[in-house]
Structure 1
C-alpha cells in the first residue's frame, strides 16, 4: 500500500512511525503548506515526494491511501477531496468538528467504496478489549453504573512543554483556531473508551462545560483562550445503566490518564491507563463481599494502523470506522448543545 501523509504536525510523526513499521506499507509522499516543517518531516522519515497542497499530490496521484493528520477543522474538506480522488482515508480524531460534516464524510466513503477509518488510538490498549470481552461474557453480570474520566495536566504542568508559548497547544484553547476545547479534543476518546469498553451505547447525555481564566484578558498574542477546559456529563445507556463521564486539562499530577469503571450485579471492573502503565482489575465472586480486586492480564491486540492496512488489503472496512466516529460526534454535539 502506497501511503501519503497529509499534514506534518506532531501527530503525523506517530503515523509515520507506526505505518512505517508495517511491511505492507510504503510512505511515498507528504503534504503540508509549511515548507520548512514539510522538508524536516520528509528528511526525518525518508519520504521521497513532498507537496505543499493536497491538490498537487492528487494531480500526481501515485498513492493508494491518505493518513489525514491535519488540524481538526480541516478533516472534513481534505478527507472529501481524498475520497473524491479514489483514495482510502485513515483520519485523525475527531472525524469532524460537527455531526453534519461527519455524516457527509460517512456518506462519501460509502459512495466511493473506499475504506474510511479513524485513529481512535486508545483502541490499541489491550486491556480495553479485554474489559469488553469480559462484559460480553457476563463476568460482572449486567452493568448498572459506569464511571469514566480523561484527565490531563498540561495547563498546570510543563511535562510536554509550555502551552503559553507553543502554537501546538495554544490552538487547542481557541475556538477561532478550530478548537472545540477539551470536549472536542479528548471527548471523542473518552466516549469511545466508555462505549467500546463497556459494550454499551449511550442513549442520553447532559453536559456542563467550563472555561477558566488562563491569561490577561484570556488572550495570548493572536489566540483568544475561549475554548472549554473541563466538562462533566451524566449519561444513560441502552440497557438502562447510568454513568458519569468527565475530563479536564487542569488535573494536576495526572499527565494523561484514562479510567473506566463498570459495576454490574455480579461484580465490577476497573481499567486505568496513564503515563506509568495500564492495569485492569476485577472484583467478582467471593471477592465481592470483601472488596478484593484481582489483576487481569490481556492478550495483545492489533493497532488501529494495522487494522487500516488490513482493511485496505481485504477491501472491507474495520473498526474504528467513520460510522463509529460519527456516532460519537453526534453525542459530542448533543453535549455541546445541552448547556
Structure 2
C-alpha cells in the first residue's frame, strides 16, 4: 500500500485526492499547504489529519512514500528536487518544469535515484487514444504520412468556466508576470503529448507561430498584464517522417475543451476525439479506403494515470508518462518559444541598408 502526500491544495488537488483515494493499493495520508485556511479545509474535506505548512516539516515527519505535486508550474522544479533528495516517489502535474534543462535535470535525478517518476498528462486516460496508439504500433494504418492535432478551448469567448475578466484563477493564465506560459505552456503541452503518443513518434522538427490577442484596454486588467500567448500553430515533422500540424487556442468559439487527432497512413487512417471525459475512435482501413467509409472502433477502459502511478510505486517499475517523456515534450515547447523570441528580435531590429 503506497502512502501518498498531496502537495498543494488548489482545485486540481481535489482531483488528485479523489483519484488516489479511489485507486486500489493507495491511501492519502497527508497534505502540505502554506495557507492555513485552505490547509484545514482540505484536511477536513478528505479526512486528512497529517497537515503541514511546508515540505521540510513533512519530510521530517516522513510517514509517506510518494507525493502528488500539485503546486503552481514554477514551483514544480524546486519542490520535486527536494522530494527526490528525500527519496520520495513523485507524481507531478504538467508541465514538469518551466524549461527543458530543468525538466531534464528532474528526469535524470529521479532515474539516478531509482525513484518512480510520472507526470499527469490526463488525456492519456482516453481509451480512444490508447487504442489508437495500439493500432499504429500494430501497423493497422501502415506508415504514418500525415497528421492533424488540435486542442480547442473557448473560455476567452464564453463563460462556461466562469468570467476570466474578473476571476484571478483565469487571469493569471493570461499573464507572464504571474507565471503563465500561455496556451502553449498550459494546453499545448497536452496536445504535443497527445499527438506524438498517438503517432508513436517524437517531434523531429517544428516551426511555430504564437499570437497574443488584444483583450482589454491597455492589455491589462488590474495587476494582470495580458501578455501570454492565446493561440499557437505548429508545423511539425515527426521522427517517422510524417508531416502535420499541431494547434491550440482559447478562441475556438463553440468548443469548451476538445482534443482531436487524425493520423493518415499508407494503409488507413484513424481519428481520435475527446473532451477529457468521453472519447471516441473511428477508422478507415482495408476495403473502406476505396469508398472513404469510416467505422467506429470499440475502446475498452484503461487505467488512469493515477492508477498507473500507484501500480508503479507498488511494483517498483516506473510507469508512463515519465519525467523523461515530459522533458521531451518541454523541449518542443522551448523550441516554439525560442522561435517566437527570435522573430520578435528580428522585427525590432532596424533595417540594414544594402
Q: Which category of TM-score, normalised to the shorter sequence, fits these structures?
A: over 0.9
CA–CA distance in 1 between the matches of 2:309 and 2:232? 31
SS at match of 2:165: helix
- Alpha-carbon deviations, 1:110-159, whole Å to 9, x = none? 22221111011111111101001111122111110000000111111111
Deviation of 1:36 after TM superposition, in Å, equals 1.6
Alignment check: 8 A CA contact 2:25 2:311 kept: no
Deviation of 1:338 after TM superposition, in Å, equals 1.6
Name the residue aligned to 2:290: 289
Alignment check: 8 A CA contact 2:201 2:240 kept: yes
Deviation of 1:103 after TM superposition, in Å, equals 1.0
Deviation of 1:277 after TM superposition, in Å, equals 3.1
* 1:252-263 equivalences in 2 (<5 Å): 252-263=253-264
SS at match of 1:208: strand
SS at match of 2:336: helix
Name the residue aligned to 2:26: 25
CA–CA distance in 1 between the matches of 2:24 and 2:131? 27
Name the residue aligned to 2:52: 51
Name the residue aligned to 1:244: 245
* 1:196-211 equivalences in 2 (<5 Å): 196-211=197-212
- Alpha-carbon deviations, 1:278-332, whole Å to 9, x = none? 2111011222222110000111111111111111111111101001000110111
> Where does the alignment leave 5 or more consecutive residues of structure 2 unmatched?
341-354
Deviation of 1:55 after TM superposition, in Å, equals 1.7
SS at match of 1:164: coil
* 1:70-81 equivalences in 2 (<5 Å): 70-81=71-82
CA–CA distance in 2 between the matches of 1:168 and 1:15? 18
SS at match of 2:185: helix
* Larger CA deviation: 107-116 vs 329-338: 107-116
SS at match of 1:37: helix
CA–CA distance in 1 between the matches of 2:175 and 2:323? 26
Deviation of 1:274 after TM superposition, in Å, equals 2.2
Q: How many residue pairs end up in the alignment?
A: 339
CA–CA distance in 1 between the matches of 2:217 and 2:50? 44
Name the residue aligned to 2:88: 87
CA–CA distance in 2 between the matches of 1:170 and 1:55? 31
Where in structure 1 do 4 or more consecutive aligned residues deviate above 4 Å? none
Deviation of 1:23 after TM superposition, in Å, equals 3.3
Alignment check: 8 A CA contact 1:174 1:226 kept: yes
Name the residue aligned to 1:191: 192
Is 1:148 the equivalent of 2:149?
Answer: yes
- Report the TM-score when normalising by structure 1: 0.97
* 1:1-339 equivalences in 2 (<5 Å): 1-274=2-275, 277-339=278-340
CA–CA distance in 1 between the matches of 2:81 and 2:213? 35
> Where does the alignment leave 5 or more consecutive residues of structure 1 unmatched?
none
SS at match of 1:291: coil
- Report the TM-score when normalising by structure 2: 0.93
1:247–1:53 CA distance, 2 compared to 1 (3 A): same
- Alpha-carbon deviations, 1:36-86, whole Å to 9, x = none? 222221111111111121122112211111100001010000000111111
CA–CA distance in 1 between the matches of 2:10 and 2:290? 51
CA–CA distance in 2 between the matches of 1:193 and 1:324? 12
CA–CA distance in 2 between the matches of 1:336 and 1:35? 37
Alignment check: 8 A CA contact 1:255 1:275 kept: no
* Larger CA deviation: 255-264 vs 36-45: 36-45
